[in-house]
């Protein structure tokens, strides 16, 4: 039987909705660095696309 990883929002490590923590856990990245990179990308892309993507992921990603 194969174990399949699922992309889910984190309950334990969430700050707002757990989206960045869930992405970090799924890809094996460090949670704090993932949040920092996401914030930097959002700010340098005029903030709106980053916020919109975060909101979409908040509603699309199931909670663990």
pLDDT for residue 44: 87
> What number is the average pLDDT over the span 5-25?
92
Return d(Cα 56, Cα 41) in angstroms, integer: 16
pLDDT for residue 6: 87
DSSP 39-62: HHHHHHTTSHHHHHHHHHHHHHSP
For 20-63, the pLDDT digits (tens) are 999 999 999 999 999 999 999 888 887 678 889 999 999 999 99
pLDDT for residue 2: 67
Comparing 24 with 64, the larger pLDDT belongs to 24
Return d(Cα 56, Cα 45) in angstroms, integer: 17
Return d(Cα 58, Cα 52) in angstroms, integer: 10
Q: Residue 3: count other Cβ atoms within 10 Å of its Cβ.
A: 5
| Global confidence as pTM | 0.84
Domain segments of the chain as ranges = 19-60
């Amino acid at each position: 039987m194969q174990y399949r990883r699922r992309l889910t929002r984190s309950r334990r490590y969430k700050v707002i909705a757990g989206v960045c923590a869930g992405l970090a856990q799924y890809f094996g990245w460090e949670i704090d660095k993932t949040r920092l990179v996401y914030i930097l990308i959002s700010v340098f892309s005029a903030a709106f696309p980053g916020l919109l993507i975060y909101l979409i992921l908040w509603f699309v990603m199931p909670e663990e």
